[in-house]
Amino acid sequence: MLHTSTDKTLNSWISVPQESDFPLQNIPFGIAAKASCQPKVCTRIGDTVIDLSVLASEGYFQNLDAKVLESFDKQALNDYIALGSEVWSSVRERLITLFIEDNPELRDNKAIASKILSPLGENVMYLPVRIGDYTDFYSSMEHASNVGMMFRDPANALLPNWKHIPVGYHGRSSSIVVSGTNIHRPKGQIKFPDAPSPIFSPTRKLDFELEMAFIVGKNNSLGDSVSVDVAENHIFGMLIFNDLSARDIQNWEYVPLGPFLSKNFGSVVSPWVVTMEALQPFKTAGPVQETEVLPYLKFSGDKSYDIKLEVCLQPEGDVPQEICESNHKYLYWNISQQLAHHTVNGCNLNIGDLCASGTISGPEPGSFGSMLEICWNGSKPLVLNDGKTRTFIDDKDTIIMKAFAVKDGLRIGFGECATTILPAKS
């Protein structure tokens, strides 16, 4: 019997807290390890981590090829992802079957189950994929409009190309880190409007950018394009992405080639990759693209995802305070269009490459996905619960991002993406 993500009635014999992001219908993938153990491929149900390598060695994947079992013993998901969508579905189906509440196969074998299952708190999470290349798009019209109004012509906030092309740039993959990794405040050149020349200083306008990212799940050869109709077949899954930014460094350096030092000092991802299969119930229509796009970007059907996004700011010694609520469905350019555009010139994407959405802002101030917008470049300070204010991120502040989708009683989520900003190194 095949189980589907839309079956709300499925329950696991593993305890799942109410409002958990990780019910039996999720089955995300990540890299985890208990103390002094080797990181390996794992999944999660509730607050329990499931070691797929041990599960395989105990004989619970007997019908799968040896290459699948070997991929579970790796320290990144790339080898597993490379096995293709049929394998992903088979593994997902087997895991749902194995952990469904009325299956005693593993449930009643306490000795073996204790080797396979462990509390989340006993595990260290690692970067889930080996990221070869990273691309950051600029796909939220609200965000692009806000930035245009702030720094260019409010009457013509969007540049002429914006509604014709999914704008993007290539970023630095080596500084992408997993949630829980702290980032030092970056230094660089800052040019004040009334100063004759720049200074060298730690950034005074450190910002977060609320984004989601997808992981490429299938190679395309150099010279080949991927059509918008099959683009999702080339995507393994999604995660939360915090693209930290130094706005003052960016303002000085971005002409003519775009961001450089203002972006490549650190970006943070959530540790669990939620598969596209798990996200299918939450597909929805995106914004209407009234400006006609070129044929290779035209699509039919629902290509957007109704994924709720939240950002909390937590000053040192204080409790988190929610400062933003947005949604992945606000993206003007959907992930299929992003991937199709990325490859239309024959660019070869590789398994494990990461493509981020760009800041996801909604139509209202409470849905703006960066401090730059929330505080309108410092002109509208954010008042915190203790009465103190922020215009950008202070040292020792922690940024916590969350993402989850809810429909008809089914909740599938991504957990948290968190980082604390440390002072600049001397």
C-alpha distance from residue 65 to each of 87, 99, 106 (Å): 9, 21, 21
**Max Cα–Cα distance, the chain, nearest Å:** 74
Phi, psi for residue 129 in degrees, rounded to 5: -130, 155
Q: Please, are residues 411 and 332 in contact by the beta-carbon 8 Å criterion?
A: no
Nearest CA to 330 out of 369, 382, 301 is that of: 369
CA-to-CA separations, 308 to 326, 361, 367, 382, 386, in angstroms, rounded = 6, 12, 11, 22, 27
Only one residue has tokens 């109004």, namely 149
Strands 134-137 and 117-119 come out as unpaired
Which segments of 121-223 are extended strands (E)?
123-126, 134-137, 168-170, 176-178, 183-184, 187-190, 199-202, 206-207, 210-216
CA distance 225 to 214: 18
E strands within 303-397? 304-305, 308-314, 321-327, 354-356, 382-383, 389-390
Which of 178, 47, 190, 55 minimizes the C-alpha distance to 109?
55
Phi and psi torsions of 354, nearest 5°:
-120, 130
Per-residue tokens: 395: 């040292």
Which of 3, 143, 164, 328 is the catalytic position? 143
- Residue 284 dihedral angles phi and psi, to the nearest 5°: -155, 170
Q: Identify whether 143 is a catalytic site residue.
A: yes
Residue 333 and residue 140: Cα distance in Å, rounded? 7
396: left (phi over 0), alpha (psi -120 to 50) or beta: left
Positions annotated as catalytic residues are 143
